Structure formats: C-alpha cells, structure tokens
A and B are shown apart, each in its own frame.
Chain A
C-alpha cells in the first residue's frame, strides 16, 4: 500500500513528461481539428447558411439526406469503387516496389515514372488525362487503340458507366500509387536478404517467399496503407468531377461529389456538415472492415 502511494506521484510526473511531447501538436489538433469538427456537428442541426438567420432544425438535415433518392446510389458507387481500387492500388504498389528494390541501370527513371505522379496537383494531370480519353477519333487513346486494331470506332470513354469507372480507377491508381510504393519500398528494404536465401535453399518458390517472409515484415506498413487508401477512396472527387462530370446519368457521382452538389452549391453548410458526418461514419465502417479482413488474412497465412 505504501508502495502504490509512493509510485503515484512518480507515475504522475512521468505521465506529465510524456504528455509534454504530445502537447504542441495536440494544441494545433484541438484548435484546427477538434473545434471545426464540433462546429460541424453543431451546425449540422441547423439550417445554417451565413446569409440569413440560422434556424435550429434538429435532425432534419440528416433525415433529408437519408431520404434523398440520390444519396444511396452515391454510397453504393463509392463503396464499389473503394472495394476495387484499394486492393488494386496495393497490389500494384507492392509489385512496383519489388521492381524498384533491385538496383538496376536507370533506376531513377523508373522511380520518377511510377512514383512522382503522386506528388502532382490534380488540375494539370487531369487535364492531360481528359485529353487522352477524349471522345473524338484523334483523342490519344482512341487514336492508338484504333491504330493497333483493337477498336475501329471512336470510344466515348465516359458514355457508359462501367467504362467510365474503369477510366476513373485507372487514373486513380496511376495517380496515387506513388506514395504507397515508397512505403513498401522502405519496408521491403529492411528485410534481411538471408531470409530469402535460406527460403530458396529450402525450395520455396516466389509466392511462398512472399507470403511467409515478405508479408509479416510489411505488416504494419500494410495496415497503415489500407487505412490511408480507404480514406482516400471515399474522398474521391476530382476525377469524378473533372473527367466524367458525375456521368453518365450520375452514375459516377461519389460521396464527396454529392456533398458538393447538395451542400456547397446550395451554400447550405448545415446540410454539408450532416452529409460529412454520414461520410465519416461510412468510411469508419469500411476501414474497420478492411482492417479486420487484412489482419485475418495475414494471420491465416502465417498459419
């Protein structure tokens, strides 16, 4: 008993010391993240527009969004997009990370080509992509596909839902894979090569090597990347807005697109806040599911 009494002040001092490390960042976090979130929560219960009297309307914003016939298809589109693009990006990233790991001639060029687009701003590169997937015959994709004999008419790339989504997924993977590559590259390079050598001696093929050696080592990075990608996927806006304009027939509208359409275009910030909380909830659920799946599958392969 006397021991616990003498331990508490020391423990308290130690904890204060630890908090001190956190405090500077926590201050900015509180001011620029917590306050806005609380603000967002509060105004979501109002008819809040900056231009006239703000009226308390309870859950009306949430109910209206729930009942809006445009909302749920948007959720569906975004979820399907996330389900496809997140694993795809991770697979591509791990693949490219393996390619970049080996020292070879002109490695810098490969690094630039695959990784740097992740650091370019959206407007410029989307304009370039929009040109590539233009609908007229001299659009780059149409022209070369035609020349190669794959098609003999000009494709309207955003004229059908599945093709439009295909293009969006392609452009998205191209754009964001870079950062993931760096993450996996860093993790891969920490794996001692002896482990691979001894596995080879034991007769393990590349796939087995990947599952039993590589995966465990990149586990925490994978965890991080899955969360990061899930969040990014639900924030998809630029491509849907600039490339396909939410079409055809609104079938490439994403959650953030909906947020812009019904929240910001109306300058109805209360509604925008309510929609954001819906997005938050959906992302959270999705990220948790993804994480559980990833952890389970890693654990199962570890046997």
Chain B
C-alpha cells in the first residue's frame, strides 16, 4: 500500500479512538453526575411510592410541578423568592468585599517586604485549621454588640476576616516572575500601579476561582445565618428551605418537596458554572506571561 493510504488509515483509527474515548468519558461523567439527576428527577415525582418504585424511574412517568408549587407557596410571611433575593445580595456583596480586601493583602504577603511578613502569613494559614463552628458564638456576640443582628451586614462582615482567599491569591502571585517586577521598578512604577496593572490581570484565574468559591460559600452557608437571623424577612435560601427538610422518623416523607428545594438551591450554582465556564477555561489559559 502507498504511504498516504497508511497515513490516512492511521489518522482514521486515531480519530476513531478519540471519538470512542470522548463517548466513554461522557458516559462516565453522566454516571458521576447521577446523584444530581436523581435529585432533579425526584423533585418531579409526586408521592413517596413514585420515588421508590422499581425499576427506578430516571424520567418520571407522570412528572409534576407540584413539589415546586409547594415550596414556593408563601408560608407564614416567608417567601422563597425573597429568601433567594437575600441570598443573592449577601453573596454578591461578600464576593466583592472579599476581593477588595484579599487582593492587596495577598500582594503584601507575597511580594512586599516588611518585618513580620512571614509570621502573619503563617498565622493566616494556621487559623484555617480551626473548626469553623467555633467561630459561631463569638461572632454572635460581636455582631449583636455592634447592634447589627438581623441585617445584611451581619451575614457579610464576619466572613471578611477569612484568610483562605489571601492564601490562595498569594500562591498565585508568587509565580509572577521577578524580572517583571524588577522591570517595573526600574520604570518607576509604584507598588500600587504594579498591583493594579500587572498583578491583577496575571491572577485573573485565581480571582475567578476565589469569586466563585466565596459566592457559593456564602450561598450555601446556613449555620451562621440560622443563628444570627431571627426576623424572617432577612432569611437566606438555605434557611427558608429548612421547612422542607426531612421530618422525624420517616426521613423519606415529603422527599419530593425536599428534593425540589435542594435542586432549587443547586440550580443557581449550576447556572453560574455554565455562564462562567468559558471564562474559567479561557481565564485559566491566559495564565503565564513571559514564559511563552
């Protein structure tokens, strides 16, 4: 056979393997994501029996929206819509504030020199070892003492002391090549300008990941809001969904509304993911300067 035919055959088999691998990966991913599919599917089934029927129905025979109707019916002055809105306000504010605080702090700890720098860094890392739950009670007294209970601020402020973001950004900032910094310094660039025009674009992927984490961490947090909020008009989504949690004894009673609530709180995370995925992938590949 001629060499081109051999080459084409090789190309074809390579293509075929690539396609097979892709299909296998898709199937594996579907298998991996099954619990979420189950959550969605169950949220559209109306009775516990429908949930437990064998063979398990992935696509409900009689899909119904009644579970979603149940969770959206305002009960006792509490509306899921208001709770969602509260969650959005708190999560967005927390994310912005965290970025504004963490970026300069990470910069200081990674590229600036001052006495006590490493000490502060290690303290910042060490406190991450503390079980988060212990902060609940002191925070309660501090926020109460500031007269801020039942406010949006009470949900935003305590998290701003978190050092995880600083840690994350610092690690990324460490990778900025020293030559860049030296060049900027020679050009008379101030620290602030360096931070704004060079560092920040460099760490965009890390910033994105931190934003995502902070946003969703705030979105999903419920221990703290549960403790500090007593007026239902400021309740966030996870707390509003408590009403649909498992009851005593038979945890599968009312699993329809529970899965509906669970999926409703998972959905925004998914949407954000899909919305930002291109930025995630693009932002991450924008990575290094000067090494390409």
> Which A residues lie at the B interface, using CB under 8 A?
14-15, 17-19, 21-22, 24-26, 28-33, 35-37, 39-40, 99, 104-117, 119-125, 127-132, 137-138, 140, 143, 174, 179, 182-183, 185-186, 189-190, 192, 220-221, 223-224, 227-228, 231, 234-235, 237, 255-256, 259-260, 264, 269, 272-273, 276, 279-280, 283-284, 287
Q: Is the CB of B288 within 8 A of A106?
A: no
Residue from the set B130, B134, B142, B291 with the largest chain A CB neighbour count within 10 Å: B134
Would you call B184 an interface residue if the criterion is a C-beta within 8 Å of the partner chain's C-beta atoms?
A: no
Q: Is the CB of A122 within 8 A of B220?
A: yes
Would you call B255 an interface residue if the criterion is a C-beta within 8 Å of the partner chain's C-beta atoms?
A: yes
Q: Is the CB of A227 within 8 A of B125?
A: yes
CB distance from B162 to the nearest CB of A (A): 8
Would you call B101 an interface residue if the criterion is a C-beta within 8 Å of the partner chain's C-beta atoms?
A: yes
Would you call B81 an interface residue if the criterion is a C-beta within 8 Å of the partner chain's C-beta atoms?
A: no
- Scan residues 245-292 of chain B and give those whose CB is less than 8 A from a CB of chain A: 245-246, 251-252, 255, 258-259, 261-263, 265-266, 269-270, 272-274, 277, 280-281, 284-285, 287-288, 291-292
* The residue from B26, B54, B171 contacting A223, defined by CB atoms under 8 A apart: B171
Q: Is the CB of B160 within 8 A of A127?
A: no
Q: Is the CB of B130 within 8 A of A25?
A: no
CA distance A17 to B258 in the complex (A): 53
CA distance A179 to B272 in the complex (A): 15
CA distance A111 to B270 in the complex (A): 11
Would you call B135 an interface residue if the criterion is a C-beta within 8 Å of the partner chain's C-beta atoms?
A: yes
Q: Given contacts A120-B266, A124-B39, are A28 and B142 in contact (CB under 8 A)?
A: no
* The residue from A14, A22, A131 contacting B104, defined by CB atoms under 8 A apart: A22
Q: Is the CB of B129 within 8 A of A179?
A: no
Number of residues on chain B facing chain A (CB within 8 A): 104
CA distance A123 to B265 in the complex (A): 10
* Minimal Cβ-Cβ distance residue in A for B32: A113
Q: Is the CB of B108 within 8 A of A22?
A: yes
Q: Is the CB of B26 within 8 A of A106?
A: yes
* Minimal Cβ-Cβ distance residue in A for B164: A228
Residue from the set A37, A122, A137 with the largest chain B CB neighbour count within 10 Å: A37
Would you call B70 an interface residue if the criterion is a C-beta within 8 Å of the partner chain's C-beta atoms?
A: no
Which of B2-10, B71-79, B206-214 lies on the face that meets chain A? B206-214
Q: Is the CB of A140 within 8 A of B56?
A: yes
* The residue from A21, A99, A129 contacting B105, defined by CB atoms under 8 A apart: A21
Q: Is the CB of A29 within 8 A of B161?
A: yes
Encode B159-175 as 1/0 by CB contact (under 8 A) with A.
11111101110010011
Q: Is the CB of A36 within 8 A of B35?
A: no
* The residue from A24, A39, A220, A283 contacting B101, defined by CB atoms under 8 A apart: A24
Residue from the set B130, B219, B292 with the largest chain A CB neighbour count within 10 Å: B130
A/B interface sample: 27 pairs, CB < 8 A = A18-B113, A19-B114, A21-B104, A32-B135, A35-B138, A36-B138, A104-B25, A106-B22, A110-B26, A120-B220, A121-B219, A121-B220, A123-B241, A123-B262, A124-B259, A125-B39, A127-B259, A128-B262, A129-B35, A143-B54, A231-B128, A231-B129, A234-B131, A255-B131, A256-B131, A279-B129, A284-B129
